[in-house]
Structures are given as structure tokens and as C-alpha cells.
Structure 1
Amino acid sequence: MADQYARTGEGRRATGIPVIRWEEPPEGPVLVLLDQTRLPAEEVERVCTDAPALVEAIRSLAVRGAPLLGVAGAYGVALAAARGFDVDEAADALVGARPTAVNLAVGVRRALDAHRAALAGGGGLREAAQAALAAARAMHREDIDASARMAEHGLALLDELLPGGGHRVLTHCNSGALVSGGEGTAFAVALAAHRAGRLRRLWVDETRPLLQGARLTAYEAARHGMAYTLLTDSAAGSLFAAGEVDAVLIGADRIAADGSVANKVGSYPLAVLARYHHVPFVVVAPGTTVDAQTPDGASIEVEQRPGYEVTEIPVPQVPVTGAGGGVPVAPLGTQAYNPAFDVTPPKLVTAIVTEEGAVSPVTAEALAELCGGSRRPALD
């Protein structure tokens, strides 16, 4: 495994720094990532020279977010092929890096299929590597386009649900440019509302245990000059009770065929609160996140994260003593329950928005029609 760090140019902004890019220096191809574990304190890039380095970057959440993981998975296969490593072995390792996010497997499959097709067609290893890279680049471009279309469809739906503008939107985790080749999923809708002058307030859940709302969504909102307020996850109920939330917008890491939605843990309680308070609960995700091979929510494998992500807090510039490299906030030996995701049933989802449009109410039939059939993320 080989990776290294390179600090980004002074004064550059998150929306101006590519979250992922392919480069070909004289010593060989590399995949360059904006290391999201270092945000918001510093903007640092992580350079991966092989698939194991990318696997570690995925597991550590240096690169994260369903759409971006799909792009990263495709580039990972291309990187293994270009570097002359075992492509099938690299593909298996990449798919296993994070089991819940279906886009990762979709991206790996797409580049792997292109690589195999080139070999089967009589091409050599060089041609097969180029085919894998072309597939990854195509997926990257499509993700950028999908992001823009989701923002358009999402804003139209928001305006339909909440006529008159002045939207007060609550979001959870991070679903902006840091998870996408474009401007994101759910956050992109809020950003579109902001640009149209129709966003009154973006409520940002801090999103325990990794604080991806506080560290990343607030970071992006500040860069765009959006009116935003950060809150603890447990404070969301008081916001609903006070009538301060007009809609909830979240992304997704996997959507089952029946419309069940796996997203960062804490999303399901928001759906329950939204239903009780008659507030729209809208999921925004690309079609690649809809997995026709997963029939329902009970079939979604939920990733379990290390306990130290709950029992410790990473604090830059402060001496650390915890096993995970953070400052302990619980007694030594405390056990922690730390699922990365929870699953929201379709009956609690007002609408699902993809680049192809929106479905509401959410049913298996409507979702299948919108997304145009199944995708096969599993590897042979």
C-alpha cells in the first residue's frame, strides 16, 4: 500500500478543489483525493498509487459519499490495471471496503467489465487498462451531470411542496460537492434554492458520531455564503416542535427495490419526526444508488464502525490518548454501538429524487419505472 499527502494551494476553496482526480506523473498513474478526514481544519490531498491505498482511504472516510465512492471504485480498478496489479483482486478488495454503499460496487463493476471486454476482444493489458480508465472517466462525467439534474428536479419538487419560497430545510450528514463529481445530492438542492433566493435557513445536523454535518456540510455551506445553523442531532425534535422546519433533505447510500433508504445513522429518527409533524421528508440520490437486487430494507447490510468513533473525539492540535487517535470522552473499556447507517421504510419517505425525476408516493413499481430496471453491483 502506498499513499502520500500533498497540501493544496493556499486560498483555494472546497468547491474549487477537485475531490478526486486522475493524474499521470512520470513515475506512474495516481489517484488524488481531497482528504475529508482533515477538513475543515486544513485542505490536504491524499495520493494513492495502488488499490490497497484507495481501500484504506475509503475505510478511513478520507473519500466518502455514495456517488463519489462509485467514481472512486471505477478509478481504483483503472489504477490497478494501469499499474500492472491483479485487477480482479483489487476489485474484490474495493467492493468490500464499505458494504452498504452500493455505488462503490457499481463503479467497480463498470470499470471491471470494460477491462474484461477489452481483453476478450483481443486487446492487450495496455488497451484493457485504457478501457477501464475510459469507463471511470465516463462515470465521473455522468455523476457531474446527474448532480445538476438532481438539483433541478429537487428544487422543482421543493417549490411544489412549499409554495412561496423561504424554505427552511434540515439536512443530515454531508451530501454536497464532497460526495460527488458535481455539487452533490441533497445539499445540491438546498444550494439551488439558495441561488434562487428561496432558501431561508439550512439547518445542519452535526451528525454523530463522525460529525460529518459539522465538519463538512457546515464547511460547504459557509463557502457558499448560505444562511445555515448547526445543531446537535438530538435538538432536531425541538426544531420540529417549534415549527421551524419546512422540509428534510437527505442523501442515501443504498435504496432498496421497495424504496427503503439506507443513509447515515440518525436519518430514520428524522423521518419519524417529519411524519409526526407533517413535514416532507425527501431523499435525493442518483439512480446508481437504487439497487434492484436488494428487495427491501431488511436485506440491506449495515456497516458497523469502530467503537472509538463514539468513545473518542478527534481534536486537531490537542494531545491524544485514545486507541483511535482521539481524546477519550467515555471511561476506558466502554463498549459502543456504532452502526454507520440506519434504514428508513418507504412509507416514511415523501419522495425520492434522482437525475431522472421524482417519485411520490414511493413504491417499488414507481421506483423501478423511474430508474429503468436493475443494476448488478455484485462481482462474479
Structure 2
Amino acid sequence: MTQRIRVGVIFGGKSGEHEVSIQSGQSILNALDQEAYEVVPIGITRTGQWIVGQQASFALNQATQIELGEQSQYVQQPEANQAATSAAAVVPIGELVPPELVGDFDVVIPVLHGPNGEDGTIQGMLELFDIPYVGAGVLASAVGMDKVFMKKLFAEAGLPQVAYTFCTRKLWETQPARVVQEVEENIGYPCFVKPANMGSSVGISKVKTAKELPVAIDLAARYDRKIIIEQGLDVREVEVAVLGNDEPEASVPGEVIPDHEFYDYEAKYVTGESQLIIPAPLPAQVTEEIRRVAVEAFRAVDGSGLARMDFFVERGTNRVLVNEINTMPGFTRFSMYPKLWEATGLSYTQLLDRLIGLALERSTEKRRSTQNLS
């Protein structure tokens, strides 16, 4: 009998996208082939505690914080079969990582969204422990999370984008008139104000007048020290999924029809009334341009494994503009990324198999590079 691949699925986390990550993690746990993989859930609470084992999903869904009190360093909660992967080890905040994680997995799926998840931090930890993992490496993850540096790399690659500017929270607090002047002279209204390091449309506002701008910047500044302001155009919102390492492929594109004025957090995860049209009803040449630019953008940040590329298609001209890259997109069965691949011919379970294979492939390729200078 072939030995099963031991897969850790990390979900939860300390970011504002905690709930979305739990949903993604649970979908992956339910879909992985139990005959091919030994699957271990790894939950991270909002306060940074790690919960390893089958009770991880239950614990994170039941509470936002686990009180340890005077309990011992690791609290085992054995289930009936007493298997190691059926227990939950709760790790105090002071610990870096559970000992169960180090050196004990063939591959890890860090399905964490937002800061401390897809920004290179968890990826760096996994690199230190030499554990193969699904998705972008440290550099691509960090660049993909920081919208300002992401846009700088896209510009370097010659990719078309909307006009933008940015400021720090400190600059806004000390020189607000300077920030307003920059926006009004170079961006104009309407515009979109966003935290530079946040996903799932958290903290985003559409600003139509000068009166609305300070409120929007204050909101974005709650989530990040860097705020980006982008030109608002009359556009359609189109997304495409990218899969691969050195030879990435793009899926068919899908169009988002939000039930709000734009695709904000509530439209994505609360109302459930936004429409996802797959494939997007676009002219063939526009579809091919989107897929081509998606692969170029993926390569521009040195992406690996997966990414969802978000585009604008300007109404009237069909001009294609790259918006941003999401290196760890939502991964429920109803999320855009897996639905795009399903429409392209790859089922949810097959997609997970491909991603695990790509993670192992990338790890093998990396180990070809010698670290010994002698």
C-alpha cells in the first residue's frame, strides 16, 4: 500500500479575514482525498494560539479566544480512537509553533488570508523549518499583499493599471492637506481608498466627493499604516485564476456583478447576492488579453502555485487594466478561484491535488540549489 502524503491545513489566523480563512480551510479539509492524504487540521485563533488536530475547526468556530488559565503547556483533548491526528494540542501564545508541526509534514496548505497569512510571514516560518507548502514564496507573498509595491512591479513589467497614489497613516495625521491635494490633482473623484495590506475588500471605500475622502482614509488607516488611493473608472470587474510554477496557466475569466455599488466585504461574504458569471461574457480578444496579462503579472511578482488576478475592463473601450493579485484567494467551493478552474475543466479535488504536486515540485527544485560554499 502506498504511504499517504501527510498534509497540514493551516487556517484561521489573526487578521481581519479570520472567518473567511476558516471557511476556506474547512472546505479543503472536506475535499482532500483521505485515501491519498493523511490530513491534519491546524487552527490559529485570533489571539495567535495554535490548535493542532481534528478539534481545531470546532474550537475556532466556537470561540474567538481560548483561555488557558493555569493549564499545562500543552493541553491534549483525546478523541475516542486516541490517534495523534485526532487530538487537539492547544499552544500558548508565547510559543512560536507547536512541536507537532516541525519536521512532521510532507506538505502544508497555509490557507490564511490577509496579514500574518499571505504576506510572507507564515511562508518564512515554513521555509525555516524546511516544510514544503502550497502557494507563493516569501517574496511574492509579501509583494502581493502590499498593493503599493505590487503596483510598482506591475508598472516595471509594463502592465496597464489605473492611476494611483498612496500615503502613510503618519503623513495623513500630520499633513492631511498635502494628501488631499495629491489626490485631487492626480487622481480625482470618484476614487477608491484602500488599506495597502489587506484583502477581502476589508476597509475599502468608494469616494465621490472631497467631503467623503477624510472618512474613507480614516477607515483604511484602521487596518494598515499605508493607504492607497486609486482612480475610479466606469469598469467591469473580471477575475482569472492562475495555476503553476515556472510555466503558469490561466483559467477562463469570470465577471463579478456585485449587489452593492462595488465588490466590498459585505457583497462578497454577507449578502450572498452578488453574481459570478463564468465564463465572463467578453469578446474573444479581450478574454485572451486578460489571460495573457494574468500570466505576465504572476511572473512579474515571481508567483508560484496559485493566484487570483483581478482586472478592470473599461466600459466603452474594453481596455484591460490589471487591478491586483491575490496569492491566497478564498478557497471555499463557492469561491471564484476554484469555480474558475472548475469551468476550465479541473474539479475542486483535482485542483487540490495539482496544488500539492506543485508545492512538492517547487520544494524539489529549490533543494537543487546548493547552500554549501566549500
TM-score normalized by structure 1?
A: 0.31
TM-score normalized by structure 2?
A: 0.31
Say which one has the larger Rg: 2
* The structure with more strand, counted as a fraction of residues: 2
